[in-house]
Amino acid sequence: MMETHNSSSDLNSEVSNGEDSKVHVFSSSSELLEKLHETWNSVKEQPYPAMYSSVFGGIVLDSAMMVVPIDDHMVHRGHGVFDTAIILNGYLYELDVHLNRFLRSASKAKISSPFPRSTLRSILIQLAAASQCRKGTLRYWLSAGPGDFLLTPGGCPTPAFYAVVIKDEVSQCKEGVKVITSNIPMKQPQFATMKNVNYLPNVLSKMEAEEKGAFASIWVDDEGYIAEGPNVNVAFITHDKELILPFFDKILSGCTALRLLELAPKLVEQGRLKSVRTANLTVDEAKGAAEMMYIGSTLPILPIIMWDDEPIGDGKVGELSMTLSDLLWDDMVAGDETRRLPIPY
């Protein structure tokens, strides 16, 4: 009875405190803006040097103004897609490849663009230039747009396009990480193969791994084959020196993973790899690999040395994993300029 009484008292106290609190009403937009500036001025270094919004009709450099309308269907319905590109040493890496995937995702999500592809591309390049950022990421979204809080976008006057530059250190990953098999159900192929903003399964999968002391997780599909990580592809090197990536029919076709498949045959020519291919891999086959790695645009390769508390290979970062990382990194910093677009600062 005593415990029940205490719980009731605590609850009453919380209710009372809630009723006594007074919510401030901002009297003007200038007062609100002053508050937002106060918040952002407390940040040591501004992480977002520039944002574009089609709602605003231009680029903003003030972090306090980098906002999205609450009635945007991307916010309250998840009806939006996104993609990214790396900014490295003043160049945009593989912007066109990512932009093409972006528009394919938008088509699958039944979102039209407010601009033709050439205009989207031009906006992104101008945004990167306005940001003065030389290392980081350029992230961009297409949304069904703002308009109302209904389910479908019939009441939205026009789709919306947003983009932001994020300052970040982009460098090779040379330390190995631990992963787990995810217990969070992966997305169905219709949604997994488009880069949409519905990332709750991805978030929960990563959180699950972190709660267990691992870096991230591995999804296994309903047929028992290896799929992908929460926001990265995964690859394996067998003891026979074969580089194998899972088929892309049920997962996102990562731009960096596809580029790796183009570059890795160089190692076959050198006799360091036997072959490069995509295939179905069971969990047992995958865990029996000599080397394992995540592949993603900001990594570009992240070696995996332990999975479900079992070592991959000898439990150390593999030589071929780092060689593949070097291949991708060289492509990013000194590769073909059809893939590296100089930013006109």
Catalytic residues: 195
Our separate counts of H helices and E strands in the chain read: 11, 15
* 3-class state of residue 340 by DSSP: strand
Using left for φ > 0, alpha for ψ between -120 and 50, and beta otherwise, residue 200 falls in alpha
d(CA 194, CA 212): 29
d(CA 229, CA 236): 13
d(CA 106, CA 202): 19
Cβ–Cβ < 8 Å for 66, 48: yes
Match 């993603």 to its residue by tokens.
296
d(CA 86, CA 255): 11
* 3-class state of residue 281 by DSSP: coil
Residue type, 192: A
Positive or negative, the Cα torsion across 100, 104, 105, 107?
A: positive
Quote the tokens at residue 74: 């991307």
d(CA 91, CA 112): 28
Residue type, 300: P
Quote the tokens at residue 294: 């995540």
d(CA 192, CA 199): 10
Positive or negative, the Cα torsion across 27, 28, 29, 35?
A: negative
